[in-house]
Each structure stands twice: as C-alpha cells, then as structure tokens.
Amino acid sequence: MTVDDSSRSEMPDLQLPLSTSSVPKVGQPALPAHFPSDIPTTFAIGDRVRWLPLPSATDWGTIVGLLYDWAEGYHSWQPKYCVLLDADSPSRDWTIADWAWQWDLEVFTSTLLDSQSTKSNQEA
C-alpha cells in the first residue's frame, strides 16, 4: 500500500505536548474484594529480562507492561509482566510480545546472551 503525499498536507500538525485537559477523568478501577494494597514486584517497566533458561534457546526483551493476575498455585494475586521481545529474540518471527510470571523471568545481561549463544554453537 502506498501513501499519497498530497493527503499528508491535509493532516493537521500535532503540537507536543498534547493537552490532557480534554481527556475525561476516570475513577479508580474497582478491585476484587480483599485485593492486597501492596504486592511486591521483582521488575520495573523498562527492565531488560529473559525467560529462565530451558534446554533450548530462550527469549529476551524489555518489560513494557504489568498487571496482577490470580496465581492459582500461589493462592494469591501476583505480578505478570508484558515483555516486548527484542528483534533478535528467537520467538520474534511470530510474536512481538508475551506475558510472563515474575518467577519465569530473570534480569537480562549481554553476558547471559553470549553464554547462551556459545552453548547453542557447541551443541550444533
């Protein structure tokens, strides 16, 4: 699909920062009864993480979202993270992001990636 450049001139220029005065205020969302007020989190938005190593290659990326989900095995609400996969992450061919429990992730460093690549090359 091509874009006609002449139609772009009809589009208004956005002036940043945009005003939020026209955005309606939304009240606090309703939480389930007995929802804890402070659930500890392991990671923060922007942290680089990877899934804990499996026998095969694992994915890695950046945390871009957080929600709280009921973890049946823990019988409690637990953080679940949305991870935006890096372009060279193995699953990036078929998905852009994925959700993970905090116990399925670890802090990502390039050293971990290097050791994983070395291990994969040795197995090949």
What are the boundaries of each domain within the chain?
Answer: 42-124
**Which pair of structure tokens corresponds to residue 84?**
């935006």
The span from the CA of 68 to the CA of 45, in Å, is: 14
pTM of the model: 0.64
Outline where the chain has alpha helix (H): 5-8, 110-123
pLDDT tens per residue across all 124 residues of the chain: 445 555 445 655 655 555 656 666 666 677 777 888 888 899 999 999 999 987 778 899 999 999 999 999 999 899 999 999 999 999 999 999 999 999 999 998 866 555 555 444 455 5
**Separation CA 112–CA 47 (nearest Å):** 15
Question: What does CATH list as the number for 42-124?
Answer: 2.30.30.60
